Chains A and B, each alone.
Chain A
Amino acid sequence: MEQAKQKETSSFQKWFRSRKGQQALVLIVFMSIPLLLLFIFTYLPFGEMVKFSFYNMKYVGARKFVGLKNYQDVFTRKDCFGALKLSLYYMVGSVVQLLLALYLATVLSFHVKGEGAFKAVMFFPYLISGIAIGFIFKFFYTHGYVWDTALTWFGFKLDQLPYWLKDQKINNISLVATSVWRYTGQNMVLFIGAIMSVDQELYEAAALDGANRWQQFKHIIMPSIKTIITLNVILSITGSLSAFEPPYVITDGANGTGTYFVIMNRIAHTSQKVGLASAMAVVLLAIIFLVTIAQKVFFKYFFRSADDEDPRAGERREKQIEKYRAKHAARNGEAHNG
């Protein structure tokens, strides 16, 4: 009976049995679940949020369609868009963090003593939860506590030291420092991973040609790890636009440390202006998109490889050679005359 059934083959069954059909089956079966999860937990809520941003609504209760008013508010309110200025602190911090990480990674990749221990020590902060870090630094910065005590060892007097979180001129810098402390190690490990993949023979060859460490870094390491640098820069910049944990845990966003996310959280949860908060989120997404694209373009120009060299570079090089020759000829002439 079964055998008989299997023999009646329609064209679909034939296709289904073929290699292609089987491939398609496997493809669909394996893709459907992750795609479904992605849709349900990412795109569907996002779509809802975009919808919310056009309404005047609370979490519970009736909604009223208000068109673009929420977006207008985001751009006109001092506390919404103004909060993005604080991101500048975090961006500067992320540049410092990347440079530091890159430096440490390069040093550690040249086989120093105690390499493993250094890596572990510097990676450690990343393993602590953000909330715990918040509490650590709240006590760390308390007047007369850890940080001030450490500074007094170096001869500072306690009454000359500022209040690290109370003084509105420096409290954002204090908060940024905690995030630099936390993420430098993680960036460093990523960089080290990328640097490891560079062919060791290139260093040897470069050394034979008389290149020093800086030249090796500039001409071998940097171009080889450009992808990971780009990635880290993009992650850091998006991270600084959406900084949340340090201000939320350490200062509760008070005293002029309320970043865009903290303000958004306050508007959404305390004032229950869900529509406005959704609009803020959409605006932030748009800004992150723009910044990412701008970075892509910038890096494309900055890290061009030998293959897709800027055509003008060739001309410039020719010109330089001309200039050098001319100078050389002139000097030779002078020598002859003299």
Chain B
Amino acid sequence: MKMKKLLAVALTSAMTVSLMACGSGSTDTSSASASSAAPAAAATSAAAAATSAAAAATSAAAAATSAAADSGTLSYNSIELGTTGTDLTASIKLLTHHTDMLKDDYTGTSWSSYLAEFNKMYPNITVDIEGITDYANDSLLRLQGGKWGDIMMIPAVDKADLATYFIPYGTVDDINSTVNYAVQWNYDGQCYGIPSTANAQGIVYNKAVFTKAGITELPTTPDDFIADLQKIKDNTDATPLYTNYAAGWTMGAWDAYISGTATGDPDYMNNKLLHTTDPFRDYGDNTHPYAVYKILYDAVSKGLIEDDYTTTDWEGCKGMINNGKIGCMVLGSWAFTQMQGAGDHPDDIGYMPFPITSGSKMTATAGPDYSFGIAADTTDDNKLASMIFVKWMTEKSGFSYNEGGLPIAADDTKMPALYDSFKDVTLVVDNPAQSGEEDLLNKLNSDSELNVNNGGNDKIQKIVEHAANGDESFDDIMAEWNTKWDDAQSTEGVTAAE
């Protein structure tokens, strides 16, 4: 009897303890494994220090890192691929938005083949890649949670917080000498993000449809463009301009054309826009943001878009443009390869500059896609390994070219075929904001809720709705936006002028 009772108490307590342990289990085990692994790690890092001390003649920075005193001395430019860190054994984790590249049936080069190539040069660095489907939102949550891994495609964080989460690659000037388009994640003279690839903004179109409609030259002004869309409507069965309204984010893509493309001014997006009163007003010369959104409004009100825009299907549109059922779609160059792969007519797909001419020559905004950021809260060995991997991705992998992007490494000149019609177009890279104003655009976006270039899909969907229903004129919509923008400027205490 007594034995039974004892047994019962013992069982209950065991269950409670184990249940409680569930909560703290993860930390327990990790600390346990860390302590058991610690001597080994110390041994390897000591060995690494020794070997890199031997290699110190070639790479002073690497030696300094292995000394593990100050991670600030780690720099992108001092890494020599194939020399630096070849003895380093590390296991790093990369968070990516490219979930399609994790699949074996990916039409381009998949992650596994990049990694196989990388491990030929660095056999001891293991890279674990985790794909996140809803990247823009989930990565922010992961970032806040900490301990997410070593490399991540930097999500929309405030620039002032960059140093909290990521380590710098070097000073902005140093990085700009070896890397193109590293303009997005700079703060306080330090560069925190190396672009994975870069795009120039234009319009995806079907060459066969344009030819059939009788368009011989690509349009260069909004008026030409609308006239061409009308030709497509009159002469073919294709939808002239497919908005992809229902998908939402595809409408947000229109914001990408308001800066360099519509003004030719590299300072427009991050400097002038912030200090302009009524930036959405009509400048009268078919330039500036007004002209960009006006194209959409006019196309909708003239019936040059799909019939039932509320039920558009993103996956379906790829096959439709490939088969000549769509004339064109306003999307970044990343979309080009997808449209080519969606049917039997990859050669019909073309990419043309956005039809606005602000000066003597056409211009197009070019800029970085997601950038690699390296975690600040990881070990020094992992930081070095991560930086080696990022440099390898930029210089050796051919990733940007394979994905149809502009060259990232400064000495790389290989332009993918999709930019064939951009020969006479000047590429404009948005300059970063002035120091002290790095977060101002984010703040104005949040206050005004216009979210320019930052997922402000609903404001552009509203342009389509108002144009289709005819219940608000385009000038009224722009006036509304101007008010919101001006209010946000006064909330943030920004000095603005015409």
A254 and B245 contacting across the interface, CB-CB below 8 Å: yes
Interface segment among B194-202, B286-294, B455-463: the answer is B455-463
Bound-state Cα–Cα, A139 to B308, Å:
11
Which of A141, A270, A271 lies in contact with B311, CB distance below 8 A?
A: A141
The answer to whether the Cβ of B445 comes within 8 Å of any Cβ in the partner chain is yes
The answer to whether B158 and A254 have CB atoms under 8 Å apart is no
A294 to B293, CA, bound (A): 48
Main DSSP-derived SS at the B contact region: helix
Contact partner, B310, options A29, A251, A272, Cβ 8 Å = A251
- Find out whether the CB atom of A271 lies under 8 angstroms from the CB atom of B449: yes
Interface string of B153-171 (1 = CB under 8 A from A): 0000110110000000000
A143 touches B311 (CB 8 A): yes
Contact in complex: A58, B461 (CB < 8 Å): no
* Smallest CB separation, B465 vs chain A (Å): 5
- C-alpha spacing A58/B461, complex, angstroms: 25
> Is the Cβ of B245 less than 8 Å from the Cβ of A267?
no
How far, in whole Å, are A145 and B310 apart by their CA atoms in the complex? Answer: 13
Contacts of A142 in B (CB 8 A): 308, 311
Option from A59, A163, A251, A273 in Cβ contact (under 8 Å) with B140: A59
Grouping DSSP codes into helix (H, G, I), strand (E, B) and loop, the A interface class, with mixed when no group exceeds half, is loop
Known: A60-B161, A61-B160. A271 touches B313 (CB 8 A): no
**A168: Cβ under 8 A from any B Cβ:** yes
* Chain B residues positioned under 8 Å from A253 (CB to CB): 458
Instruction: Give a binary string over B440-479; 1 marks a CB under 8 Å from any A CB, 0 the rest.
Output: 0000011001010011111001100100110000000000
Q: Which of B144, B245, B458 contacts A266 (CB 8 A)?
A: B458
Answer yes or no: B235 CB below 8 A from chain A CBs.
Answer: no
A36 to B24, CA, bound (A): 14
Q: Does A166 contact B449, Cβ atoms closer than 8 Å?
A: no
Structural contact, A138 and B246, CB atoms closer than 8 A: yes
Interface residues of B in 246-305 (CB under 8 A from A): 246-248
Chain B: CB-nearest residue to A40: B23
Q: Does residue A33 face the partner (Cβ distance < 8 Å to B)?
A: yes
Q: For residue B496, give the distance in angstroms from its CB to the closest CB of chain A.
A: 21
The verdict on A270 contacting B310 (CB below 8 Å), with A138-B246, A254-B458 known, is no
Instruction: Convert A105-145 into 0s and 1s, putting 1 for each residue whose CB lies closer than 8 angstroms to a CB of B.
Output: 00000000000000000000000000000000011011101
Per the 8 Å Cβ criterion, residues 264-301 of A in contact with B are 266-267, 269-273
Indicate whether A238 reaches chain B with its CB closer than 8 angstroms.
no
Query: B12 is contacted by which of A29, A143, A168 (Cβ under 8 Å)?
Result: A29
Please indicate the chain A residues that have their CB under 8 angstroms from the CB of B16 in the complex. Answer: 29
Name the interface residues of B309-365: CB closer than 8 Å to any CB of A.
309-311, 313
When the two chains form the complex, which single residue of B160, B310, B457 contacts A163, counting CB atoms closer than 8 Å? B310
Cβ-defined partner of B308 (8 Å) among A29, A163, A254: A163
Q: Are B446 and A58 in contact (CB under 8 A)?
A: yes
- A residues near B161, Cβ cutoff 8 Å: 60-61
Q: B465 to A256, Cβ gap below 8 A?
A: yes
What chain B residues lie within 8 Å of A258 (beta carbons)?
458
Residues of B within 8 A of A271 (CB): 445-446, 449, 451
Task: Report whether A270 and B245 are in contact in the complex, using a CB–CB cutoff of 8 Å.
Answer: no
Q: Are A60 and B248 in contact (CB under 8 A)?
A: no
Least Cβ–Cβ distance between B249 and chain A, in angstroms: 9
Taking the complex as formed, is B307 at the interface, i.e. its CB lies under 8 A from any CB of chain A?
yes
- Any chain A CB within 8 A of the CB of B143? yes
Chain B: which residue is nearest A26 at the CB level? B12
Report the separation of the CA atoms of residues A225 and B405 in the bound assembly, to the nearest whole angstrom.
65
- B451 cross-chain contacts in A, Cβ below 8 A: 270-271
Do B308 and A267 have beta carbons less than 8 Å apart? no
Q: Considering the complex, which residues of chain A in the window 155-202 have a beta carbon less than 8 Å from any beta carbon of chain B? A: 163, 165-166, 168, 171
Q: Tell me if A204 counts as interface (CB < 8 A to partner B).
A: no
For residue B12, which residues in chain A have a CB less than 8 angstroms away from its CB?
29
In the bound complex, CA of A142 to CA of B309 (Å): 9
Tell which of B144, B457, B458 touches A60, judged by Cβ atoms closer than 8 Å: B144
Q: Which residues from chain B sit less than 8 Å from chain A, CB to CB? A: 12, 16, 19, 137, 140-141, 143-144, 157-158, 160-161, 245-248, 307-311, 313, 445-446, 449, 451, 454-458, 461-462, 465, 468-469
7 contacts between A and B (CB under 8 A): A139-B313, A163-B308, A166-B308, A252-B248, A254-B246, A270-B456, A271-B446
A residues at B contact (CB < 8 Å)? 29, 33, 58-61, 138-139, 141-143, 145, 163, 165-166, 168, 171, 251-256, 258, 266-267, 269-273
Contacts A142-B311, A270-B458 known; list 19 others, CB within 8 Å.
A29-B12, A59-B144, A138-B246, A138-B313, A141-B311, A143-B308, A145-B311, A165-B308, A165-B310, A168-B465, A252-B457, A254-B461, A254-B462, A255-B310, A255-B461, A255-B465, A266-B458, A269-B137, A271-B451
- 6 A-B pairs with least C-beta separation: A142-B311, A165-B310, A143-B308, A254-B461, A252-B248, A166-B310
